Each structure stands twice: as C-alpha cells, then as structure tokens.
Amino acid sequence: MDIKKTQEEIIQNKINHGFNTTDIAKEFCLLYGEVGEAYEAYRKKKDDLGGELADVAIYLLGISELLGFDLEKEIKDKMEINKNRVYKKVDGVNVKVDI
C-alpha cells in the first residue's frame, strides 16, 4: 500500500461526495468518534471491528493529507525515535527516561 497515494485518494473521495475538506477541528472530532466506535466493537466483540479500525485509519490519513503531512514518513521517523528510547518501570508502567 502506498500510504501517500491513499491519503490523496481519501481526499478525492471526500471531494467527490461533498464531504468536509476544510474544517480540521471537525475532522478530529469525527476521528475521535470513529475511535470510540472501534472501541465499542472491540468491547462488545462485534464482527465489524476491522471495518471500524479502517474508518479510524481513513480519517487519520485524511487529516494528514489535509494538513500536508506524509504520514508514512512521519510514522517511520517516529518509529526510529521510539526504537532508541530508554524506559524504566515505575509502579509497573513503562516511563520514558530522558537522557
């Protein structure tokens, strides 16, 4: 999957169907709603969890495109940062250590 191309396709689909492409705050709210729907599908063991996760990804990719981010590059960069981070356990929870 070419994530950048998919971002562009998501926005074109929004344009084709007359959906929002300008109100970023609204898109974040809709993304939040989709995360909630995915959690409910998981919690209730619904069969549509995969589709709900796809909706989350679609909204996230769309927001990334609207804001001019290549999400694939951003993910790779962040994974490299995370790979080199140091953590320690505090009360059973991993906490990032600043070095």
At 16, which CATH number?
Answer: 1.10.287.1080
| Total domain count, the chain | 1
Could you report the per-residue pLDDT of 65-84, keeping only the tens digit for each? 999 999 999 999 999 999 99
Domain range enclosing 66:
3-97
Threshold 0.85, pTM exceeds: yes
Asked whether 27 and 20 are in contact (CB, 8 A), the reply is yes
Higher pLDDT among residues 46 and 97, named by residue: 46
